[in-house]
Amino acid sequence: MTAAKINDLNFTPPAAVTELAAKVKAFVKEKVVPYETDPRWGAHGPSDELRIELNDLARAAGVFAPHVPKEYGGVGLGQVGRAYVFEAAGYSILGPTAIHCASPDEGNIHLLDVVARPDQREHFLKPLATGKLRSCFCMTEPGGGAGSDPSLMKTTARLDGNEWVINGRKWLITGAGGAGFAIVMAKIEGGEHDGKATMFLVDMPNPAIKHARTLDTMDSSFTGGHAVIDFDNLRLPADAVLGEIGKGFRYAQVRLAPARLSHCMRWLGSAGRAQEIATEYARHRMAFGKRLGEHQGVSFMLADNMMDIHMARLAIWHTAWLLDQGERASNESSLSKVVCSEAIARVADRCVQILGGMGITRDTVVERIFRDTRAFRIYDGPSEVHRAVLGERIVKGAL
């Protein structure tokens, strides 16, 4: 075995990636962080006015949407490149919104890039990739419908002549308020594809799509919030299908594996920010005759945070590398989602504890990071579902 083979494992990213990540980090610190007290960032996320303002700043700084395909002005970052850049953007919760790599648009850009027809790319992907509009992904349902178990989907699509007729209710639809279009998951009713999930593309607003309400949730990082949406005899042309009829669940995996990893990347940046704030506080706050950080109970928490951040980052890098090799990486994506969401939640919780009374106030962004990262353990698959899937595969000898 040659020395080159022995030393084949390489954790050094291309210089262009580290330079871009550093540029994004500097932009977020200098331009985005001051907006964290802007009243346009409310309980249901940053307003569209604020989003557009931040997007313009990102364009001026040359850091807008580096992950999108080159044909739309991006640099087509691969998953490893995104791991570095998205973590840098996540230094502020508003950072991903500013550089246009926030959910659900980032995941929808990827899905459309892989699946959409040329005409759909022009009509839907181009304006989304360039930030001219936002989108939403309509899959989750209330009342015993599709959630962690997507096979329970109740929303139906029936072919009536040369039109699809869609009926159903979705909820927790991120970004629906003010979205320019939706990707809708529905179960085919009748015909050879009866019972099979299919994706549809539809422009918004549409009179047959009713925004029933915006849910009050503990997180507040997504423009448009989380909505309850009713589809009341929504009629779409036969060619409104995204991809092929009956392959909705397959396309959902195309979207979800990298999308859940992107969440890990962005929230890891926020965990690093919380650690930075808690560390600075521990270095200067005096308690019982010495600096807070000199008390072992506090220094141990900072050390545990460092370890959680490091291990989460390694999980992200490995899964990102596999995706860049063309692997599905479904197992690695699941385990990374659990490892990262739980590690990041621990980091945020410890930082609140270290800050004490200040930690539960909004005098620092740590309180907001704590709330938003708690939600991360639920969306894109709760930890328990990922554990169940991985455990079943282990028992069957598939892992």
Q: Tell me, what CATH number does 305's domain have?
A: 1.20.140.10
Q: Domain check: are 233 and 268 in the same one? A: no
Q: Domain check: are 274 and 160 in the same one? A: no
CA distance 59 to 56: 5
> Considering the domain boundaries, does residue 186 fall inside one?
yes
Q: Domain check: are 198 and 255 in the same one? A: no
Domain count, the chain: 3
Query: Which of 25, 36, 97, 35 is closest to 363 using CA atoms?
Result: 36
> Considering the domain boundaries, does residue 44 fall inside one?
yes
Q: What confidence score (pLDDT) does residue 8 get?
A: 73
> Are the CB atoms for 109 and 67 separated by under 8 Å?
yes
Distances (CA, A) of 289 to 293, 295, 296: 12, 10, 14
Q: Domain check: are 156 and 225 in the same one? A: yes
Q: What is the pLDDT of residues 123-182, one digit of tens each?
A: 999 999 999 999 999 999 999 999 999 999 999 999 999 999 999 999 999 999 999 999
CATH number at residue 26: 1.10.540.10
User: Which tokens sit at 202?
Assistant: 């539809």
Could you tell me the pLDDT band of residue 399, with boundaries at 50, 70 and 90?
Answer: confident
Q: What is the mean pLDDT of the chain?
A: 96
Distances (CA, A) of 147 to 28, 104, 123: 34, 16, 29
Q: What is the pLDDT of residues 280-300, one digit of tens each?
A: 999 999 999 999 999 999 999
Where is 286: in which H helix or E strand? strand 286-287
Q: Which domain holds residue 196?
A: 135-242
Q: Domain check: are 144 and 8 in the same one? A: no
Q: What confidence score (pLDDT) does residue 79 get?
A: 97
User: Which tokens sit at 67?
Assistant: 């992950």
Q: Domain check: are 34 and 69 in the same one? A: yes
> Considering the domain boundaries, does residue 123 fall inside one?
no
Q: Domain check: are 284 and 168 in the same one? A: no
Token pair 């808690």 is found at 278
Render the burial of 354-390: b for 16+ CB within 10 Å, e for the rest.
bbeebbeeeebbbbbbbebbbbbbbbbbbbebbeeeb
Q: What is the pLDDT of residues 383-396, one digit of tens each?
A: 999 999 999 999 99
For 143-150, the CB contacts below 8 A with 24+ separation are 143/169, 145/169, 146/185, 148/381, 148/382, 148/385, 150/185, 150/197, 150/249, 150/252
Token pair 């550089």 is found at 99
Q: What confidence score (pLDDT) does residue 10 get?
A: 86
CA distance 284 to 358: 14
3-state secondary structure at position 356: helix
> Considering the domain boundaries, does residue 129 fall inside one?
no
> Considering the domain boundaries, does residue 387 fall inside one?
yes
Q: Domain check: are 70 and 153 in the same one? A: no
> Considering the domain boundaries, does residue 375 fall inside one?
yes
> Considering the domain boundaries, does residue 53 fall inside one?
yes
Could you tell me the pLDDT band of residue 6, with boundaries at 50, 70 and 90?
Answer: low
Q: What is the pLDDT of residues 31-48, one digit of tens each?
A: 999 999 999 999 999 999
- Residue 210, exposed/middle/buried by CB under 10 A (0-12, 13-18, 19+)? middle
CATH number at residue 237: 2.40.110.10
CA distance 59 to 98: 9
Q: What confidence score (pLDDT) does residue 7 get?
A: 62
Q: What is the pLDDT of residues 61-87, one digit of tens each?
A: 999 999 999 999 999 999 999 999 999
Q: What confidence score (pLDDT) does residue 62 get?
A: 98
Q: Domain check: are 270 and 389 in the same one? A: yes
Q: Domain check: are 314 and 195 in the same one? A: no
> Considering the domain boundaries, does residue 332 fall inside one?
yes
Token pair 């328990």 is found at 384
Q: What confidence score (pLDDT) does residue 225 get?
A: 97
Q: Domain check: are 148 and 182 in the same one? A: yes
Q: Domain check: are 271 and 380 in the same one? A: yes
Query: Which of 271, 265, 228 is closest to 372 using CA atoms?
Result: 271
Distances (CA, A) of 285 to 33, 61, 145, 278, 294: 23, 36, 50, 10, 10
